[in-house]
């Protein structure tokens, strides 16, 4: 497994990206709206992983709720897995609380599913399966 990305809740991805871009020399390679999750995301590659800046597109977005409760900051860690359904089944059999029993489509057309922080020591974990088969799963 690899860390696919680290998700960061922001009040606006353009503003949030500027420190990474201007001070750290990183680049935004993809910006995308993921309507199913009511977010807009910007991806900044770092090594074989990425930072995912998240902005809510609606008041009932999970990111709006997170920001209201905790303010901007690290929202989730995404692990890239080979077979997301098998991983979900393993987690379930070991008693983990799943937010998504079935994978759904996330950024870059990947299959994603979230595991509840109550099962993972307070960390929201996103599982990601790259169904496109492209390293880094760029949007095509
Ligand atoms: Co994510």
Q: How far is the CA of 15 from the centre of ligand 1 (A)?
A: 19
Q: How many structural domains compose the chain?
A: 1
Q: Do the domain assignments include residue 48?
A: yes
Q: What is the pLDDT of residues 29-78, one digit of tens each?
A: 989 998 888 999 999 999 999 999 999 999 999 999 999 999 999 999 99
Supply the CATH number for residue 29's domain.
Answer: 3.10.180.10
Angstrom distance (rounded) from CA 10 to CA 44: 14
Q: How far is the CA of 6 from the centre of ligand 1 (A)?
A: 7
Q: Do the domain assignments include residue 136?
A: no
pTM of the model: 0.89
Q: How far is the CA of 93 from the centre of ligand 1 (A)?
A: 24
Coil vs helix vs strand at 138: coil
Q: How far is the CA of 126 from the centre of ligand 1 (A)?
A: 6
Q: What is the pLDDT of residues 119-133, one digit of tens each?
A: 999 999 999 999 865
Q: Both tokens of residue 120?
A: 């993972």
Q: Do the domain assignments include residue 74?
A: yes
Q: What are the helix and strand counts (H, E) for the chain?
A: 3, 8
């Amino acid at each position: 497994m690899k860390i696919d990305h680290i998700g960061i809740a922001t009040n606006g991805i353009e503003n949030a990206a500027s420190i990474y871009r201007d001070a750290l020399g990183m680049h935004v390679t993809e910006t995308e709206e993921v309507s199913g999750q009511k977010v807009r995301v910007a991806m900044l590659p770092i090594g074989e992983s990425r930072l995912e800046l998240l902005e809510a597109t609606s008041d009932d977005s999970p990111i709006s709720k997170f920001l209201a409760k905790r303010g901007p900051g690290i929202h989730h860690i995404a692990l890239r897995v080979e077979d997301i359904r098998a991983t979900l089944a393993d987690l379930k059999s070991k008693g983990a609380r799943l937010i998504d029993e079935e994978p759904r489509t996330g950024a870059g057309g990947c299959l994603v599913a979230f595991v509840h922080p109550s099962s993972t020591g307070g960390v929201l974990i996103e599982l990601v399966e790259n169904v496109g088969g492209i390293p880094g799963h760029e949007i095509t």
